Amino acid sequence: MKKYLFIFLLSITALFSYEELTIDNFNEKIKGKNVIIDFYAPWCPPCKVLANNLEDFEIQKPDNVQIFKVNIDNELFLAKKYGVRKLPTLIYFKDGKPLKQDVGVKTVEELLEVSKNEFK
């Protein structure tokens, strides 16, 4: 039982390890940067898997890439604005403009490959 509780707590903390964006700070935070934004919901099991993969990706990611999160339960306007219909969804932004959208769980290797290709 303790093992399951520990794993559950680790998965929950992974959801909150990146800065959360809101409608108020979204444009300011992504302007002039290479950004990956994870659109997620706390109740979504695949989102928790992706959150763990993002934690591993953080160690290997290029220095010029930042990761942020958007909780769609709190920021429905942003989800609608960027056409997020399924979870989890990653959107890659360069200089404030969306480049690519990925739906579903991505591995660390896939995240590295997309980062290399999109953020040249």
Burial class (CB in 10 A: 0-12, 13-18, 19+), 114: middle
Return the half-sphere exposure (C-beta side, CA atoms, 13 A cut-off) of residue 74.
13
Quote the pLDDT of residue 18: 87
Question: For tokens 């002039």, what's the residue?
Answer: 32
pLDDT tens, position by position, 35-93: 999 999 999 999 999 999 999 999 999 999 999 999 999 999 999 999 999 999 999 99
**Residue of 30, 35, 36, 47 marked active site:** 47
Q: Would the pLDDT of 13 be above 50? A: no
44 is catalytic: yes
Number of domains present in the structure of the chain: 1
Quote the pLDDT of residue 6: 46
The span from the CA of 106 to the CA of 89, in Å, is 10
3 is catalytic: no
The span from the CA of 51 to the CA of 2, in Å, is 22
Instruction: Please state the pTM of the whole predicted model.
Output: 0.85
Q: Would the pLDDT of 22 be above 90? A: yes
**Residue of 20, 29, 44, 98 marked active site:** 44
Q: What is the mean pLDDT of residues 89-102?
A: 97
Other Cβ atoms less than 10 A from the Cβ of 102: the count is 16
CATH number at 8 reads 3.40.30.10
Range of the domain at 30: 2-118
